[in-house]
C-alpha cells in the first residue's frame, strides 16, 4: 500500500483548506474532506473525483462541537479508511478589543482553533504510530510568533498550535511520523470578511498572498517534514524581524496593522488576489 495515500483536511470547503485539498488531489492523494456544509463538500468532491481520478470521502461536521472529532474518527474507522496525513486547518478569527468580543465567540474560536486540533491529533496519531508512518500538518500562522492586540485570542490560539507542533516534531523523531506547522501570513481567503478585517491595514496594505500559492509551497514543505514552514519571502522576513524585536514593539506593530485604513485607500476587495492567481494558473495550463 502506498504510504501517505489518504489525507484528511479540515476546513476543506474554502480558503487555504480547499487549496491544500486540491494540491493533495493533484498529487494523487485520496481525500477525506471535513467542514460543516455537506452540500459544499459534495460539490468539491465531485470536482476532485472528475479532475483527478481519486477517492474522496465527505464528512460534514462542526468541529466547534466537542464530540465532532470522535464522530469523524468513528465514521472513518467504520468505513475502513486509514488516514495517513492529518491536516488541521479549520479555524477563524474575530477583530475587536478582548473585552468587547463576546465570550461565546472567543470560546468557539478556542474550541475550533485549539481543542479540535488536540482532539483530532489524539485520535489519528496513535494509528499512525502503530503503522510506523504518517504526517501531521497543523495550520498555524505568523500570528503565532507574537501578541496581537485586536486579535488577542486568535494570536494566542495560533501560538498554541505552533508550540504544540514544534514539541510533537521532537517527540515523533525516529517514529516514521512527522509534524509540520504551516505559518502563512495574510492570505486572500474568507478569513478577512468573517473576522471583520477587510477595511484594515492587514488586508488593504500588507503583502497578501493567494491561498493557491500558500498550498503549492506548503505541500513540498510537508513532504520534506519541515518542522515550521513560513511561505513567502516577506512573511519569512517579518517573522525573523519580529523574533528579535521587543514584545511591546511587536504588539504595537500588530495593533497598527489591525487598524482601519483610510476609506480613500481601501481599494482591495476580498477574493481578487485569489481570482488573479487562479486565472494565471489556468493560463499556464
Catalytic residues: 154
How far apart (Å, rounded) are the C-alpha atoms in residues 167 and 135?
A: 14
Phi, psi of 41 (to 5 degrees): -65, -40
* Sequence-distant (≥ 6) Cβ neighbours of residue 166 within 8 angstroms: 179, 181, 227, 228
How far apart (Å, rounded) are the C-alpha atoms in residues 112 and 68?
A: 11
- Note the residue count of the chain: 285
HSE-up of 3 (CA within 13 Å, CB side)?
A: 9
Scanning the chain, the segments in alpha helix (DSSP H) are 15-26, 38-52, 68-78, 103-110, 116-131, 152-171, 191-195, 201-204, 211-223, 233-243, 247-257, 272-284
Residue 119: all three cell numbers together: 482532539
Match 478582548 to its residue by C-alpha cell. Answer: 98
CB 38 within 8 A of CB 26: no
CB 54 within 8 A of CB 48: yes
Amino acid at each position: 500500500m502506498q504510504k501517505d495515500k489518504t489525507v484528511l483536511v479540515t476546513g476543506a470547503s474554502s480558503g487555504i483548506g480547499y487549496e491544500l485539498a486540491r494540491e493533495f488531489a493533484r498529487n494523487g492523494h485520496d481525500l477525506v474532506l471535513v467542514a460543516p456544509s455537506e452540500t459544499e463538500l459534495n460539490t468539491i468532491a465531485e470536482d476532485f473525483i472528475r479532475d483527478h481520478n481519486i477517492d474522496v470521502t465527505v464528512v460534514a461536521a462542526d468541529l466547534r462541537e466537542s464530540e465532532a472529532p470522535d464522530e469523524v474518527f468513528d465514521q472513518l474507522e467504520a468505513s475502513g479508511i486509514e488516514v495517513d496525513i492529518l491536516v488541521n486547518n479549520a479555524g477563524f478569527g474575530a477583530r475587536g478589543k478582548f473585552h468587547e468580543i463576546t465570550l461565546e465567540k472567543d470560546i468557539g474560536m478556542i474550541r475550533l482553533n485549539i481543542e479540535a486540533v488536540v482532539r483530532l491529533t489524539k485520535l489519528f496519531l496513535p494509528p499512525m504510530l502503530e503503522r510506523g508512518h504518517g504526517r501531521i500538518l497543523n495550520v498555524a500562522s505568523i500570528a503565532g510568533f507574537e501578541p496581537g492586540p485586536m486579535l488577542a485570542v486568535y494570536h494566542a490560539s495560533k501560538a498554541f498550535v505552533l508550540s504544540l507542533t514544534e514539541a510533537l516534531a521532537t517527540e515523533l523523531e525516529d517514529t516514521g511520523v512527522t509534524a509540520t506547522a504551516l505559518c502563512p501570513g495574510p492570505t486572500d481567503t474568507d478569513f478577512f470578511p468573517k473576522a471583520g478585517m477587510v477595511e484594515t491595514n492587514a488586508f488593504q496594505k500588507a503583502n497578501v498572498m493567494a491561498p493557491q500559492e500558500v498550498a503549492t509551497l506548503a505541500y513540498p514543505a510537508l513532504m520534506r517534514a519541515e518542522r515550521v514552514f513560513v511561505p513567502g519571502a516577506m512573511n519569512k522576513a517579518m517573522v525573523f524581524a519580529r523574533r528579535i524585536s521587543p514584545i511591546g514593539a511587536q504588539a504595537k506593530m500588530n495593533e497598527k496593522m489591525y487598524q482601519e485604513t483610510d476609506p480613500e485607500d481601501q481599494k482591495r476587495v476580498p477574493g481578487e488576489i485569489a481570482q488573479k492567481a487562479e486565472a494565471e494558473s489556468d493560463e499556464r495550463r
